[in-house]
Amino acid sequence: MTASAHPAIGETRICPHCKSKILKSAAVCPACHHFLRFEAVRIAHKPIPSFQPLRIEGTIRQPLSEKACEYSLVVEIRNEGGEEIVRQVVAVGSLGPSEARTFALWVEVYLPENARAEQSLA
């Protein structure tokens, strides 16, 4: 594969299986875990993140004494200047008395394959 055949860093596409917007460099969809390229089947594992700079997990509980409530899970990404890049409602739902939901959010940072090849040559 030539260097020009590698996607540009940050280039995106739509997963043909789940229709999520994903990185073009992904061999396995991070949302639905379907294989996207032949080498993913050959490797037969999910890509390993270089590091995970952010991970948040929390649980909300509706007290037994309270009425049902509704929630919206919203993700917002801003650039270094504070400008909104994306804001998306990921899920909505409701909680009945004594119900709970646990939410987890994390950022996985991957080193693109062409960058790995360049590092190994250095």
- Would you kindly state where each structural domain of the chain is located, as residue ranges? 7-47, 49-122
Could you tell me which residues come within 8 angstroms of residue 7 by beta carbon, excluding any fewer than 6 positions away?
23, 24, 25, 112
pTM score above 0.85: no
Q: What confidence score (pLDDT) does residue 56 get?
A: 96
Q: pLDDT tens, position by position, for the chain (122 residues)?
A: 444 466 788 888 999 999 989 888 888 888 888 888 766 555 555 556 678 899 999 999 999 999 999 999 999 999 999 999 999 999 999 999 999 999 999 998 887 665 555 555 55
Tell which residue, 85, 105, 115, 92, has the closest CA to residue 8: 115
Q: How far apart are CA 31 and CA 86, in angstroms?
A: 18
